C-alpha cells in the first residue's frame, strides 16, 4: 500500500485534489430535503425533487462515460463542472415547484457527468493491482472534504441556505479550472475502437458482473436514505440540522481514519467477497436506524454502514476498472454509476413514501435489501479472474506513454 501511494504521479494528485475540492463544496444535495421543507413543500414533494436530482445522476453515468471515451476525460470534466455551477445558482433562485424539479434534474445530470471521466482518467494513470489503494486514497481525500463540508454546511443551513448553493457552485468552478489547465487528456478511443461493440457484449457474457450491478442497485437504494429519510428521522427525534450535518461528518471522518488501513487488507482478498461483506454492513447499519433515537445511537448506526462503505467502495471501483477494456473504461464506470445512481431516484422517492407510512418496518426493509445485495454479488461465475496485488503492467514506460498529454487547446 505504501509503495502504491509513493508511486502516484503528479497528474494523479492533481486529479485527486480537484475531486477533493469539488466534494468539499457539495453542500446542496444532502440538505435539499430540509431546504425544501423550510420553503413550505411537503415531505413527498421534497422527496420528488431529490429524486429528480437522482434522475439526472442516472443519465449522467452513461452519457458522461461515453463523452469520456469519445471526447476525452479532461474536456468532459471541465464541461460538467462549469455547467454544474450554473445549474446550482439557477436552482437557488427557483420558486415554482415544477421549475425546481427541472433544475434539480439538470443539476444532477451536469454535476455527475464528470465522475466517469475522473474515474477513467485515474484508471489510465494506475496499473491493475494498485487500483484499490488509489481509489481508497481518492475516497479518503473526498471524505476529509465531506466531513468538513457537511459540518460547515449544517452551520450554514441554520442561517442561510443560499450560501450552500453559492459554495457548491464555486467548488465546481475550481475543479473545472484545474482540469483544463493542469490535467493531461488521458486515454481516448480510436476510430476502430469506437466502432467496436465487444465491450457491451462482454458485459452480457459475464453473469457475475451483471449480478454485481443488480446488487449495486439494491444497496444504492439503502445508501441514499442518508439524503432523504435519514434527515427526517434525525429531526423527528428532536435533533437539529447541525446534528444531522455532524452525523454525515462522522461518516467522512471514519473513512479518513480507517479506509486506507482497511484497504491494505481488502486489496489482497477476493474482490466480490469483499464487496458482498460491505453491502451487508450497509444494510445492517441502516436497518439499525429504526432502533436509534439519540445522537449517540444514530452515530453508532452511521459507524456500521460507514464500515460497509469502506469495505465495498474502493474494491468495487477497482473491480469495474480491472474488467473493463481499455477503450471502454469511461463507459464501464458510467454503467456502474448508472446502477448506483438509480438509488438516487428510487431511494428518495420510494423511501420517503414508505417511511411516511411504515417508519419502523422501513428500516427493516433496508436491512433485507443489504442482505440480498450481498447474496447477488456472490452469485455467478466471473468470465475473468482478477488477482489482487499483481501488477499486469510491469513496464512503467507503457503507462507513461498511455497517459502522455496530447497536443490540445489547453496547457498541460
93-122 per-position pLDDT tens digit: 888 989 999 999 999 999 989 988 888 888
How confident is the model at residue 243, as a pLDDT?
87
Percentage of the chain exceeding pLDDT 90: 28
| Residue 401: pLDDT over 80 | no
What is the C-alpha to C-alpha distance for residues 96 and 249, in angstroms, rounded to an integer? 32
| Residue 321: pLDDT over 60 | yes
Residue 337 lies in a domain: yes
In contact, 231 and 244? CB cutoff 8 Å: yes
What is the C-alpha to C-alpha distance for residues 311 and 269, in angstroms, rounded to an integer? 11
Residue 2 lies in a domain: no
Sign of CA dihedral 308, 314, 318, 321: positive
As a three-state string, the secondary structure of the chain is CHHHHHCCCHHHHHHHHHHHHHHHCCCHHHHHHHHHHHCCCCHHHHHHHHHHHHHHHHHHHHHHHHHHHHCCHHHHHHHHHHHHHHHHHHHHCCCCHHHHHHHHHHHHHHHHCHHHHHHHHHHHHCCCCCHHHHHHHHHHHHHHHHHHHHHHHHHHHCCCCHHHHHHHHHHHHHHHHHHHHHCCCCCCCCHHHHHCCHHHHHHHCCHHHHHHHHHHHHHHHHHHHHHCHHHHHHHHCCCCHHHHHHHHHHHHHHHHHHHHHHHHHHCCCCHHHHHHHHHHHHHHHHHHHHHCCCHHHHHHHHHHHHHHHHHHHHHHHHHHHHHCCHHHHHHHHHHHHHHHHCHHHHHHHHHHHHHHHCHHHHHHHHHHHHHHHHHHHHCCCCCCCCCCCCCCCCCHHHHHHHHCCCCCCCCC
Single out the residue of 44, 51, 45 nearest to residue 29, CA to CA.
Answer: 51
Rounded average pLDDT over 300-329: 88
Confidence of residue 192 (pLDDT cuts 50, 70, 90): very low
Residue 4 lies in a domain: no
320 vs 143: which has the higher pLDDT: 320
| Residue 275: pLDDT over 90 | yes
What is the C-alpha to C-alpha distance for residues 77 and 108, in angstroms, rounded to an integer? 14
Residue 48 lies in a domain: yes
**The C-alpha cell that represents 134 in the structure block:** 488509489
- Listed in sequence order, the residues at least 6 apart from 397 whose beta carbon sits closer than 8 Å to its beta carbon are none
How confident is the model at residue 400, as a pLDDT?
36
The CATH number linked to 295 is 1.20.1250.20
Confidence of residue 374 (pLDDT cuts 50, 70, 90): very high
Q: Which residue has the cell 492533481?
A: 14
Confidence of residue 396 (pLDDT cuts 50, 70, 90): very low
In contact, 88 and 28? CB cutoff 8 Å: yes
What is the C-alpha to C-alpha distance for residues 344 and 55, in angstroms, rounded to an integer? 7
Domain containing residue 346: 10-403
Residue 5 lies in a domain: no
How confident is the model at residue 328, as a pLDDT?
78
What is the C-alpha to C-alpha distance for residues 32 and 50, in angstroms, rounded to an integer? 7
What is the C-alpha to C-alpha distance for residues 369 and 396, in angstroms, rounded to an integer? 43
Residue 410 lies in a domain: no
Residue 297 lies in a domain: yes
**Number of domain units in the chain:** 1
Highest mean pLDDT among 192-201, 205-214, 391-400: 205-214
Rounded average pLDDT over 37-66: 84
What is the C-alpha to C-alpha distance for residues 62 and 65, in angstroms, rounded to an integer? 5
Residue 187 lies in a domain: yes
How confident is the model at residue 381, as a pLDDT?
67
How confident is the model at residue 384, as a pLDDT?
55
Q: For the beta carbon of residue 354, count every other beta carbon within 10 angstroms.
A: 16
Ranges 128-137, 220-229, 277-286, 288-297: which has the least confidence: 128-137
Percentage of the chain exceeding pLDDT 70: 88
**Average pLDDT over the chain, rounded to whole?**
82
> Mutual orientation of helices 329-341 and 343-357 as an angle, nearest 10°?
10
Confidence of residue 408 (pLDDT cuts 50, 70, 90): very low
| Residue 278: pLDDT over 90 | yes
Sign of CA dihedral 343, 344, 345, 347: positive
- Listed in sequence order, the residues at least 6 apart from 324 whose beta carbon sits closer than 8 Å to its beta carbon are 123, 199, 331, 332, 333
Amino acid at each position: 500500500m505504501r509503495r502504491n501511494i509513493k508511486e502516484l504521479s503528479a497528474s494523479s494528485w492533481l486529479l485527486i485534489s480537484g475531486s477533493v475540492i469539488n466534494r468539499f463544496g457539495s453542500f446542496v444535495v444532502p440538505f435539499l430535503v430540509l431546504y425544501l421543507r423550510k420553503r413550505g413543500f411537503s415531505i413527498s414533494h421534497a422527496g420528488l425533487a431529490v429524486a429528480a436530482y437522482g434522475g439526472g445522476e442516472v443519465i449522467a453515468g452513461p452519457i458522461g462515460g461515453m463523452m469520456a471515451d469519445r471526447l476525452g476525460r479532461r474536456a468532459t470534466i471541465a464541461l460538467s463542472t462549469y455547467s454544474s455551477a450554473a445549474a446550482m445558482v439557477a436552482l437557488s433562485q427557483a420558486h415554482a415547484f415544477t421549475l425546481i424539479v427541472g433544475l434539480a434534474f439538470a443539476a444532477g445530470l451536469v454535476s455527475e457527468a464528470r465522475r466517469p471521466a475522473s474515474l477513467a482518467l485515474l484508471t489510465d494513470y494506475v496499473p491493475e493491482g494498485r487500483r484499490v489503494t488509489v481509489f481508497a486514497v481518492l475516497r479518503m481525500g473526498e471524505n476529509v472534504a465531506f466531513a468538513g463540508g457537511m459540518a460547515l454546511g449544517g452551520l450554514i443551513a441554520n442561517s442561510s441556505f443560499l450560501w450552500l448553493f453559492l459554495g457548491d457552485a464555486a467548488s465546481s468552478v475550481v475543479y473545472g479550472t484545474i482540469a483544463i489547465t493542469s490535467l493531461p487528456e488521458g486515454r481516448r478511443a480510436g476510430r476502430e475502437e469506437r466502432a467496436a461493440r465487444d465491450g457491451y457484449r462482454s458485459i452480457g457474457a459475464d453473469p457475475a458482473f451483471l449480478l454485481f450491478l443488480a446488487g449495486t442497485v439494491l444497496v444504492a437504494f439503502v445508501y441514499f436514505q442518508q439524503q432523504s429519510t435519514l434527515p427526517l428521522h434525525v429531526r423527528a427525534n428532536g435533533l437539529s440540522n447541525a446534528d444531522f450535518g455532524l452525523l454525515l461528518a462522522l461518516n467522512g471522518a471514519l473513512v479518513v481514519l480507517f479506509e486506507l488501513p482497511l484497504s491494505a487488507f481488502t486489496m489482497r482478498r477476493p474482490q466480490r467477497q469483499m464487496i458482498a461483506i460491505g453491502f451487508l454492513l450497509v444494510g445492517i447499519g441502516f436497518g439499525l436506524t429504526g432502533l436509534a433515537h439519540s445522537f449517540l445511537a444514530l452515530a453508532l448506526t452511521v459507524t456500521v454502514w460507514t464500515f460497509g462503505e469502506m469495505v465495498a467502495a474502493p474494491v468495487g471501483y477497482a473491480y469495474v476498472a480491472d474488467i473493463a477494456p481499455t477503450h471502454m473504461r469511461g463507459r464501464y464506470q458510467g454503467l456502474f454509476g448508472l446502477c448506483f445512481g438509480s438509488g438516487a431516484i428510487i431511494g428518495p422517492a420510494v423511501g420517503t413514501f414508505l417511511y411516511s407510512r411504515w417508519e419502523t418496518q422501513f428500516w427493516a426493509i433496508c436491512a433485507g435489501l443489504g442482505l440480498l445485495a450481498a447474496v447477488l454479488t456472490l452469485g455467478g461465475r466471473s468470465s475473468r479472474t482478477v488477482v489482487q496485488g499483481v501488477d499486469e503492467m510491469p513496464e512503467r514506460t507503457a503507462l507513461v506513454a498511455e497517459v502522455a498529454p496530447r497536443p490540445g487547446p489547453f496547457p498541460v
